[in-house]
Each structure stands twice: as structure tokens, then as C-alpha cells.
Chains A and B, each alone.
Chain A
Amino acid sequence: MKSKAIYTVTIFYFLTVTSCKKFVEVDTPQNQLTRSTVFKSDKTANAALLAIYSQMAGGGLSYNYLSLYPGLLADELVDFTAQNSNIELYTNGVLRNNSAISEAWQAMYKFIYEANAIIEGVNASTNLSSNIRKQIRGEALFTRALIYFYLINYFGDVPFITNTNYKENESLPRSSNTEIYTAIISDLLEAKDLLNANYTDADGLSPITERLRPNKSAVTALLARIYLYLKNYDKANEMSTDVINNGDYHLENNLDAVFLRNSQEAIWQLSNGPAFNTFEGLIYVLYSYPGYADLNPYLVNIFSTNDLRKSQWIGTYLEGTDTFYFPNKYKVQYSTDVTEYVMVLRLAEQYLIRSEARANLDDINGANQDLNIIRNRAGLPDTLIATKNELMDAILKERQRELFTEWGHRWFDLKRTGQVDAVMAKITPYKGGTWQLYKALMPVPQDEILKNRRLNQNSGY
């Protein structure tokens, strides 16, 4: 009896209390992958990159941070959300804790993280094919450069993050604009070498007509813009000419076709998938009282009556005696039949870049020529502007009319051309605020400064 009891207890213990550690280890969840697994196959590595584009189109970057917000800050849009954060943007009275600006910061650094993770993942992986390696690295470098371009134009100096080690990165201070621009150019030049001339499909290899993944021309187009911002007119001229002469890109004669998914003018577009058009269309196109914004009368009024862009790119909605004007570049508010993609880079901008570069290189004729290509397409007659200064004004106006509510062009143009003070001093009071020059830069979000004491605030805030 005794021994029987002892045996029972013994066996019982050996059976039950054997595995302590093994038991509490869990496998990676079925519905998720760890980073190292993602970069083990071409397919998943591509998917990590494509998620970035999905987020750019659907996650607020294209329509909020780079259309609605800069439109409110500048002279393009009037706020109808009545949310404090948007009212602050609209009245140029952004506070340090503005939630919209804080979200923009967070979202853009998330893109930086994702691009860095891809660059690191591709570097560390031994399983990817060399073509894929080149393609993915090239696109990730391009993406990182694009986001840094917007970050510095929004905030001035920003922390420059190039890896995913959060312990190192969480306390980095801001780097200078110059330093970041240098890195952007070097990234883009490398990307330009890495990427192909054709557009590729989801696999990163097969050529495809949809212009949804950045190719060599997209990189060149962005380089043209960046050289323009840096006033390197030679290079800007060279890069934009490169794109214009490429032969794959043509201005759409019909303005209504510019933002369609098969636009010949597109250098890079983003897609929201097979059942959704664009968030730009969703928030801007009005069938009822505006919920987000309508166009600022200042903008509506700069179009001459025979400017086709006024009739084709500006919509009207009537309610009682009130007329609301809205950006109508994208026509579809909501439909599961996809006809429109989000335009990021298009040929018209390249003409305007070259025009400005030529003007600055004192090629007045060439500048007029490029400008007139854009004017003609909008149904406007040729002009011949004689002086460089007048030309610069005309080009800026043309950019305002051509590129309104697209990717922050107007706001960033005002700042880079030094006109922001003059223009906003007039506009801001009309919007119910007061203008001061420091407001050209957004404040570094208060939260971020609290989390990283080495960040300093832009002066004025």
C-alpha cells in the first residue's frame, strides 16, 4: 500500500510537471509574419513595399497631410470640419499640440520606418533574387527621399532616421535641411540607377501599363523638383527635360482625363484597390453641404473665365442661395467602379519646373514655350513674357492654377519662392487669423518634444 502510493505520486509527477519552459513558448501568430520572414521571399518583400503605397493613398498622406492641410494653410481651401485642429490650420494659428500636424508627423515617420525596415530587410536577406533586391531597394530609397522632402518642407529641420533601431533613434536631435537634402539626392541618384524605365507589376519584375510603382522616370521627376527647390536650375532643367523627352508621357488634351487611371500624363499614381477611387474625390466632391472644405474664393477668382481648368477642375454645388466651389480634378466621389487613381507626379509639373529653371537660366523663350504648353492645354492663348521676374510671377500663378490642392504644391511654392509673407499677410486676416512669418513652418509636435527632449521647437512656437 505504502509503496503503491509512492509510485503513484512519483509517476504522477513525472507525467505532469515535466515541461515548464517549452510549454509557454508560442509560435508566431498565424495571421502575422515576423520581419525576418517577410524578407525571405520575393512576394512578401514586395508586399511590404506595396503596403507603403496603399497607406500613402488611403492613410491620409495624399488627401489630408498633403492636400487638405496645406490647402487650408495657404489660400486654397476653406475649412468646414469645424474641428479645432483644422480651424487652427485654416486661420494660420497652429498650436504646438495641433493634432492634425502631430498625426502628419507620426504618419510620415512611420513611412520612414517602413522604408528603413525594407532597406535593412533586403540587405540582411540572402533569399531574394538580385533583380528584386535592386527593384525593392530602389523603390524604398525613393520613398524615403519623397517623405523626407515633405517633412523638411513642412517642419524645417527634422530628425534624420536611417535605420529601425528605436533605442538609437528615439533620442536623435534634428538634422539640418542641407544635410537631409544631400541625403535625399544621394538616395534618389542611387534609386535612379537601380530602377528600370518601365513600370512593374506586384512582382517587381513584369512590365505593366499601370503606373503604380515608381520607375526611373518617377525618380527623375522628383529629382527635377528637388533641384528646383534647391535652385540648382541646371540640374532641374536636365532632369525635367529627361522626363519630358522620354516619350512615355504626354499631356492629356482633355482636362477631364488627367486624373484617370490610364492618364498619359501620369508619372506615378497611387491606387486604393479594386473597389475604391480616391479619398480626394470622397472628401472634395460635393453633393451636399461641405463636410471638409470648399475652395477659397481667392483661388476661384484667379481663373479667367475662359480657363478650362475653372470649368473642368472646379465643381459647384448649390444649396439655397449659397454656392460652394470644390476641387473637381477627381470626379468620382464614391464608386466601386474604379476610373481614377491618386496622382502623385505628372508631366505638367515637369513643364512648369523646366519653365522656371529655364527662366532662371535666362532662357526666356524656352521658359515661355513650356509655360504656354500648359496654358494652351487649359484653353488659354500664348503669352510672351519678357522679363525673368515677370516670368517667375507668371509661372508661380500658373502653378497655382495648374497644381491646386495637389500634394501641397501651393503652400510649398509660396515658401520656397519667398512670397509666403506677402501673400499670407493678405489672406490670413480674411481667414480670421493673423499672419507672422514663423507660421510658414509647422511646429514640431509638442508630444514629440516631450518624448524626445533633444528635439527643439521652431522659433515662434
Chain B
Amino acid sequence: MTSTLWGATCIRRLLLTFIITLICLYTLNAQATHQPGKSITLKATDVSLYTVFKAIRKQTNIQVAFNSTIIDDREKVSVNFKNTSVEEVMAFLLQGKNLNWVLDKDRIVITRREEATKKNITPEKSTGDTSLFYPVFNGRVTDAAGTPIGRATVQVKGTLQGTTTDNEGKFSLEDVKHGAVLLFSSVGYETRELKVTGKSGQVYLMLDIQNLEETVVKGYYNTTKRENTGNVSTVKAEEIRKQPVSDPLAALIGRVPGLQVTQLSGAPGRAFNVQIRGRNSIGNGSSPLFIVDGVPFFNNTTTSRSTSTIDNSNVTRGAGLETSPLNSINPNDIESIEILKDADATAIYGSRGANGVILITTKKGQAGKTKVSANVYHGMGRVTRKIPLLNTQDYLMIRREGYKNDGVTNYPSRAYDINGKWDTSRYTDWQKIFIGGTSHTTDAQTSISGGTANTQFLLGLGYHRENTIFPGDYSSWRGSAHYNVNHQSHNGKFGLNFSGMYSYSKSELPLQDFVSLIQLAPNAPKLYNEDGSLNWESSTWINPMSLTYQKNTSKIKYLNANLGLNYKIVPGLQLKATIGYSTTNVNQLETTASKSFDPSMPSGQSFSVFGTNDISIWNFEPQVQYKNTWGIVEIDWLLGTSFMQQLQQGKTFKGTGYTSDDLLNNFQSASVISALGDSYSKYKYNAIFSRLNFNIDRKYFINLTTRRDGSSRFGPGRQFASFGALGAAWIFSDNDYFREHFNFLSFGKLRGSYGITGNDQIGDYQFLDTYQPYSSDFTYLGTVGLQPTRLLNTEYAWEVNKKLEGAIELGFLRNRILLDISYYRNRSSNQLLVQPLASQAGFGAVVKNLNAVVQNTGWEIQVNSTNIRRNNFSWESSFNVSIPKNELIEYPGLESSPDAFSYVVGQPLNIRQVLKYTGIDTQSGLYQFFDQDKDGNIAFPNDYQTIIFTGQQYFGGLRNDFRFHGFELSFFFQFVRQKKVPNYANLFSRPGTIGNKPTYILDRWTQPADNADVQKIGNDFQAVMAFSNFLQSDGVYSDGSLIRLKTISCSYTLNFKNNFAVNSIRVYANAQNILTFTGYKGLDPESKTLLPPLRVISAGIQVDL
């Protein structure tokens, strides 16, 4: 389409929006005067109490809440109310019963009448005199069972006046105006309000655990778990703080159905693999959209076919060694992490929502007494599993046997381990040296928060330091600050929220994972000479400790600031705007000292590489929200636009020709400086979005989200596309029939959604035929050449993801057990593929939309259960399991593309096509494979017909939390079922070559008719080919299923009496990755050949003032 046409569409759309806004404003004015009455009219004979309560709810919007052990709502009554006040209705209904009730805002809570509270049970009748002041207002705060709640905050709404309750839950306030509203809050309980209508009152706070009214953040708007039409999982601060981790992603492992987080390495700060509901894209990004306090988090979207490692802040690192960008965020600053999964939840993010959205919300201050909290812990980590490796004696025997089998009697000059160059009596346990160390973690956090009813603030500071288990002086630390200021004007019209975080992290980590070094020969030379210098053993080896003279220091500064403004024009109509900015500055210095080279080699030259990478993102999102109620119909409408820009700039230089290793940090002392890289990309994004939520009687919900998106990643005329979703829910438990026939069911909701989201993770400027400088190191006649980097290609457009979801949410035994079961089907089509192009055209690939379809389906089950809830003891459990299924449905032209050997239609994307290993030939002693095409040769591709699914069949977690007085104990198991994971065969070289091997190779073929697991040790051509085929066969995959006791956390909290300087002290011990049950052959099925996740045990103390 031409640009003028686009412009016209754009303007038409705006006009339409504007007209709709006007219509809504008129409607608003028409409806503004309508207020639901607080009196009831009802005439009925022999109806259940439930029916009456329902009528109250309908007519007054007041909900009656009670514990069904104290009142049976099936009890029949006959009533005749005519404009009767709620108070009178309640008095009538509860007459003769030993029950209390209180009215608070829009809820009536019925409780058992207790001795201690007999005095002031019902709110005293209003005298009608609104100017009345009560000199002293006395009250008491208890939980629903009547147990007093101490240290609860009581505040007169709209003023600074407030107090806290004593250990008996009592409080008193002076000079309280009649009609004033008191706010009650306490950690772990819902916040409540009470209108002052007498000189005393009592409030019951409900525990907020398992509460269906809990807020669910859906990005641009919030809802409650009860009313949510989409699929959103939440991980709360409480769950994060129990884990001694430095990266928020680590805290999510196994805890959220549908979310797959894999720790790629146990070294600090390393990247994770994150995927929500499987891989949607064959060629492009599958990583979710991360949003921190409303600001998108830079998420590098490359065109590589790798997994969705979110990797952005690194400058020069290789696979598995990327820095996790989220490591810049202090987990302690996080209030909650929301994972948005289905179309209903993600469609409002339009083109970026295809792979799900992860929202990170930081902590906010609370009104009340100023709280100071300090928390410090220390942890220690170790590798839990080692691979049994050969000792020197067995190792040398195998080596010699190899040469004997080859008929070689004179060991070659390179066979240092057996030809006499190296001491054959030496033994070193290299696993102990390289991965046997202990890492130390220190973490300290402090925060101050508080404020008045109108203004709250929070300021938090954090420090985290971690070193590694590797030999050498490696460490990583982060200092961070987080603040939040929240303000509401006196008239409640204007609100402002300003929050931000800043962190500085510095890591000095090795350039290589030391795990690969465990395969050194067990009789390899000593590492150091007597004088402490590196031992090069007459140039017979590359001393691995030379790595310690290669330093990699990276400093990352991360700032995220976010300002939210809202203004209520008239009741129901609100203007909102958020302005966000985030910047990440990476500064990396890699130095390779001349000491790291064998001095007898001529090419060893010290050098340093200096890199910077700056990413800044700003966004601006003005919105209008309109809410109204007509009888039992409520609507909530949100309309907004989004403008975003992301700018990335990076530079890398290399300095050589240093005169001394001590000067490597100083670029001025390099005699030659060359530029290695210069990257620049700008990404702009614009959208208009709307959400219309509509409910009838809070039972039937419809949620319509739409978005029109434009992204600069597409060529002219292809930048815009529309996305949307429809979500619906029906709370069927709010129905007489269900009430009467399924009374074990306390809550039941059916919900479903269908919608379309997109994916633009293809990198910037792919449509331009650009030229880039060749290399400043290799100039030609003093000129830096220019080479073409891309073909002219303006034709590709969005990848489209259609998501369907159906779910049932059930609550049993008064919601003590909550069960959510969801089924989803996502189909991603119009796949943006870096499609192979015959190289004769100049480039081997070009970005194209292809009508390939990838389908992800799956079941997700989540159970939350409050097994025991007593005053001093509680036991809660939570279980989740996800059963994902990925399938390539269509791929036109697959056979003729090189993807033919990567994917198969009807199979998941995570497959490998390999040789079928059939055992060892008892005569030749060599690995044998199934000769599919019967041509007598084992060759690619005809014999590579065995399909191996390397993905996960199911995964999930089980959590149990116990509380006994001040003690808390929590443990969490993670489980994963994946049958085929590449095993340690890939970590070690061919049996018979120099380098240690696992002990399993002792079971090798030695003579005809041997029934062995490992082929003949040897180096002849046949043996080499057989081994290389073996690595390409299903013989090197092991069952990587695991059950991991991921977290144990225990703590004891000591609460102090009032007026003591210290409020509470919590001492705790947490442990991560304690036990792993797996049959995997190797260190760990998650990290494979890299450093496995460490077992970290930590202990700490938290003091609240």
C-alpha cells in the first residue's frame, strides 16, 4: 500500500476513536447520577439465606461473606422487605444467632460472637450528625477466626493520622470525625476500610492467601484472579526471596506452568533459556517480551537459529557464556513477576506478544509507620555431581592398548603422555582442580518505606557478590538502588507514581568454561613451577592455568525509570500516561597477558579488547480509561497508544603491541589499535490499542483487546498490522443450581480466549541492501573496504500467531483447594524464515515469509491447596505440571531446503535426525549403525533417518510451605521429563586419543566375540569414522529426566513487643539445587557440557525496625 493510503487509514482510525470517545463521554454524563441504593426490597417465602444474600448483592452491591462453618446459607427464611436498610435486613436474618456482622464498604462479614468482643459488636447507629467528633475511637482488629492481629496499620483515610494495633489487636485513635473512613492493613491480609459511625468498632481482616480477589497485573490494566478472562501466572516476592539467586529468572524455574526456564551454566550471571509455551518460530526469536515496570526490556532479537537465550549485554562472548541481562535486576526489588500466556493476556502487546510476555513489577511503599528493614545472607556453592574418570593406571593402559591395536610400537612424538615426555606416575584429579572449588555469595539488602495515605515511598539498596568455583580470582558483584514514590492528590483526582532502579554490576569471569578442562590426561604435567610461574613442560601442552591470565571484566550499568500519571476527569473516566526510560551501558575489557602464552612460541602476543554497548529505550503511552455500570452490566474500556524507540550502539576495539602486561588496561600503551566492530540499530514502534471489558452480574465476562502495530523492522508498506483477541469467562458457581447440587464446589469458572498476536523478532534493517566496512584491521591501501551485507528485500512481513485457549478454574472446600486446568493451541504461520537462497545469488539466505505452520498445544495444570490452616500452624501446597507438544504442521518446500535435515513435518521442531546405533560389531569391534539405504555405506543424509526428540515431554514443580508459630519451612521440587539429551560423549575426545575419559570406556571391545559397550580402542581410519558416526547417532543421547529438590527454605521469625526498637527478627537458611535425581550421563542435563547449576546453601538474618 502506498504511504498516502496509510496516512488516510491512520486519520480515519483516529477520527473513529475520537467519535467513540465523545459518545462515551455523553453516556458517562447520563449515567453519572445513578447510584445503587443501600436498601432492599424483597418478598419471598421459604427461600434460602443464600437467595437473600444474593438479593442484597444485586440491589446494593454489598457482598455477604461468612465462613460456612458458622452459618448454613441453605437455611430457609421468609422475608418481606420494602426499602429496608441493610442493617435492618441483617439484624432480621441473624436474629437469635450467636453471630456478629460488620459492614465495611461493600462487604458484610459475618462472624461468631466471641466473649472478648461482645461489647462492641455491631457498628453503632449513626446519629446523623456528620460534624460529630469522637474524642477517642477504640477498636480491635482480628482475623476471621477472632484471633487478634498485632501491628496492623490503622489510618484515617485522607489524613496523616494513624496508629498500629497492639498484641491484642487493639488500637485507639483520638478525635475521629464521624463518617471518617479508617484503613486497616497488615502483611498477609487484605486491606480493609471501615466507616466510623460510632466510638468503637471491630474489623476482621481476611487472609489474602488463595484469594480470588487478588490483583492480577495484565500490563495496561489489572483484574482479579476471579474475573480474569486470560491466562496469567504470578510469582510473588515471597517465593523469590526464599531462593538464594542473583537472577530473577532463576527464581522462576519449575514454578510456572507453561514457562520453561533452563539454566545454561552454573557460573554467576550467565544466561538462561526462557520459553513460554514452546517454540513458535522456526527461524526467529522465540523469547518472550520482558517489561519492567512498563518499560520494555532490551531483548536482543537476532536472526540466528539458536534458542531464545536472552542475550544482549554481552559484547564478544560465545555460546553458553552470555551474560543474562536480567542479572542487572535485583530480585529483592521485585514485588511480582507475571507471566502472560494466552491470546487474551498477550494480544494487547500485539506484534510482540507471540512468545508470551513477562511483566516484572517492583515493590512499592505502603502507608503507615516508616519501616526499615535490613537483610543479609551468606551462601556457599559447590558442584554436586562429578563424572567418574579413569585413574592414571587405567588411562595409560587404554592409551597403550590403542597403539597396540593399531600396530604402532613407536609412540609418536606427540603422545607425550605415554612416550616418556610426561611422568607416567603422576595423577591429578582435574575435576577437583577445575570444578571442585567452593563459591561464596554475599547478599545484603536494606530498605526504608512508609508514607501517608496520600504519599508513599520506598527506597531499597542492595548488594550482591558472588565468586566462582573455578580456580583463579573470579567474581561478580552488583550494587543496586530502587525507589518508588506514589502520590494521590487530596481530592483523589490526580495520581502519580514514580519509580526507578539503578544497578551497577561488575563481573570478572573467565573467558572459557573450565568444565572442558576435566578431560586433561590424568598424568598431565603440574600446573606451576617451584617459582610460581606456569609450567609449560617444554612446550608439550597448553597450560590450562594460562586462562587465568586472560581476564574479562565487564561493567554493566542499568537504569530504569518510569513515571505514571493519572487524572480522573469525572468519576469513571480517567486519563493515564506512562513515560519510561531505560538504559543499559556495558563496558567490557578483555585482556590477554603475554604470560598466558608459552614463551617459546613466537605468535604469543598480549592484547586487549575493549568493548562498549549502549542500549537505550524510551516509551510513552497515553491512555484513557472509562468505567461504568448500568445495573448489573459493567464496562471497563481502555484506549491507548504506545510510542517506543530503542537505540543500540556498540563499539569494539583491539589493542596490540603492549610493552608490558601491566599496561593492558591502558589503551594508550597499545602500539596498534584496531576497530573490531561497530554496531548500531534503531528500532521504532508505534501502536494504538484498546481493551473493552464487559461483564454481566460479575458472572459473565467478555474481554476484547485489539491493537494496531507498526514496527520499523519491516520495509515500506509492510510496517503495520492488526492484532486482537477475545476472551470470555463464565463463573458458573454463582448459580443456584450449582450452589445446591455441587456444594463442595466453592468456585467454578470456565474461560476461553482466541486471538492473534505477532512476532517481529528479526533484527533491524533486514530490508535494506546495506554495505558495511570490511575490517579496520585489514585495510587495503589504507582504506577500509565496504562490503555488501544484505540483499535488497522489502517483501517480508509479520509472523502471525493464532492462540486458542480453554480453561476451567475450580475451587473446592471454600477455596482451600484451587484447581486450574488449561488447554492451549497456538499456531504460528506466515513464518519469517531466513530462507536458504542458492549461494549463486550472492548470499546463502534471505528473509522470507513462508507458509510454514508451527503448532504448540499443551495442557497446564495448577493446584494450590491450603491443607491445614490453624492459628499457629499452616501447611500449603502448590503443584503444577505442563505437558507441551510442539509440531511442525506445514513447511512447503521443506524437502528442497537444507532444513530438510533439521525438521520433519509432523514432528516437533526440537528434533535431530541421526544415525541409528545398532551396537558393536563383535568381529571388528567397531560401532555399527543401521544402513537405511542398504548401500553398504553409512553416510549423510540417507542413513540419518532416526528422529530424536530432544525437548521436554512434561515439566513442573511441587511446593510445600509449612508455618508453625514463627517457624516457616518450604521446599520445592522441580521435575522435568526429557528422554533424549546429548550426554557426556560430546565432552570427551575419541577413546584412544590423548585426554582422560569416563570410566565406562573400560568396558571396551578387546577381542572377537566380546560383548562390550565401547568400541575397540584405536586410531585407524575405520575406528575414527565409526566414532565420528557414533557422535552423530542416537547412541550419544541419554535420558535427561530429572527431579530436583530445587529449594529448601526455613526461617524463624521473632516478633517483639510493642515499643521495642526492633519489630521483628527473621533468621533463615535457604538452599538451592540440593538434590538431583537423574539418570543422565554427564554433569547435569540442563547445562550439559557447561558448569552445572551449583548447590548453594545460604544463611541469613533479616531485621525489621
Contacts and interface: CB of A to CB of B under 8 A. Distances in A.
Interface of A: 1-2, 4-6, 8-10, 12-13, 15-21, 23-35, 38, 44, 46-55, 57-58, 84, 95, 97, 105-106, 109-110, 112-114, 116-117, 158-159, 161, 164, 166, 169-172, 201-202, 208, 210, 212-213, 271-276, 287-289, 319-322, 333-334, 336, 432, 445, 447-448, 450-453, 455
Given A29-B681, A450-B898, A8 B780 contact: no
B785 A47 contact: yes
13 contacts: A5-B25, A9-B21, A28-B768, A29-B681, A46-B783, A48-B786, A54-B774, A109-B839, A202-B780, A273-B777, A273-B779, A275-B672, A451-B839
B469 to A, nearest CB: 32
B939 A26 contact: no
B785 A50 contact: yes
Given A6-B22, A54-B780, A319-B413, A455 B838 contact: yes
Given A21-B6, A334-B602, A450-B897, A34 B684 contact: no
A24 B710 contact: yes
A262 B341 CA distance: 67
Contacts of A97: 940-941
Contacts of A29: 680-682, 764-765, 770
B720 A20 contact: yes
B954 interface: no
Interface stretch (B10-18, B185-193, B521-529, B735-743): B10-18
- In this complex, the member of B624, B681, B787 whose beta carbon has the largest number of chain A beta carbons within 10 angstroms is B787
Interface string B593-631: 000000001110100000000000000101010000000
B78 to A, nearest CB: 47
B775 A54 contact: yes
A271 B227 CA distance: 70
B700 interface: no
A89 B838 CA distance: 23
Contacts of A210: 781
A445 B839 CA distance: 10
Closest 7 CB pairs of A and B: A51-B785, A113-B842, A320-B413, A452-B838, A202-B781, A24-B710, A166-B841
Contacts of B792: 35
Interface in B792-841: 792-793, 836-841
Contacts of A47: 783-786
A178 to B, nearest CB: 19
Contacts of B624: 9, 12
Given A13-B17, A166-B843, A35 B769 contact: yes
Contacts of A336: 656-657, 671-672
Nearest to B9: A20
Contacts of B772: 31-32
Interface string B745-774: 000000000000000000011001111111
Interface stretch (B160-168, B268-276, B567-575, B1085-1093): B567-575
A166 B843 CA distance: 9
B732 interface: no
A202 B770 CA distance: 21
B782 interface: yes
A102 B575 CA distance: 60
Residue from A49, A114, A117, A451 whose CB has the most chain B CB atoms within 10 Å: A451
A275 B785 contact: no
B96 interface: no
Contact of A451 (B18, B21, B570, B838): B838
Contacts of B778: 54, 57-58, 272-273, 276
B780 A273 contact: yes
Given A9-B575, A21-B6, A26 B764 contact: yes
Interface string B313-329: 00000000000000000
A112 B842 CA distance: 7
Nearest to A108: B839
A307 to B, nearest CB: 28
A29 B773 CA distance: 13
A336 B846 CA distance: 38
Contact of A54 (B672, B682, B785, B842): B785
Contacts of B684: 23-26
Contacts of A28: 765, 768, 770
A158 B838 CA distance: 12
A21 B7 contact: yes
B309 to A, nearest CB: 24
Residue of B412, B681, B770, B838 most packed against chain A (CB within 10 A): B838
B17 A212 contact: no
B603 to A, nearest CB: 5
Given A54-B774, A273-B775, 4 more contacts: A26-B683, A26-B684, A271-B781, A452-B840
Interface in B931-951: 939-941
B492 interface: no
Given A5-B570, A9-B21, A26-B683, A110 B838 contact: no
Contacts of A48: 771, 785-788
B839 A24 contact: no
B844 interface: yes
B842 to A, nearest CB: 3
A436 to B, nearest CB: 15
B838 A170 contact: yes
A24 B712 contact: yes
Contacts of B1063: none
Nearest to A37: B771
B787 A51 contact: yes
B1077 interface: no
A95 B773 CA distance: 35
B674 interface: yes
B988 interface: no
Contacts of B575: 8-9, 12
Interface-central residue, A47, A112, A445, by most chain B CB under 10 Å: A47
A268 to B, nearest CB: 13
Contacts of A117: 788, 842
Contacts of A161: 840-842
Interface in B1036-1081: none
B1028 interface: yes
B406 to A, nearest CB: 14
Nearest to A453: B896
A102 B601 CA distance: 33
Contact of B656 (A33, A50, A114, A275): A275
A399 to B, nearest CB: 30
Of B769, B771, B782, the most chain A CB neighbours within 10 A belong to B771
A383 B254 CA distance: 83
A18 B716 CA distance: 19
A272 B679 CA distance: 23
Interface in B1-55: 3, 6-7, 10, 13-14, 17-18, 21-22, 25, 29
Contacts of A51: 774, 780, 785-787
A32 B789 contact: yes
Given A38-B786, A212-B781, A288-B539, A33 B771 contact: yes
A275 B897 CA distance: 41
Contact of B25 (A9, A38, A110, A170): A9
Contacts of A30: 680
Interface string B485-519: 00000000000000000000000000000000000
B842 A166 contact: yes
B678 A1 contact: no
B21 A34 contact: no
Contact of A24 (B412, B686, B898): B686
B836 A16 contact: no
Contact of B771 (A38, A164, A450): A38
Contacts of A208: 781
A271 B784 CA distance: 12
B712 A34 contact: no
A53 B781 CA distance: 10
A32 B657 contact: no
B788 A55 contact: no
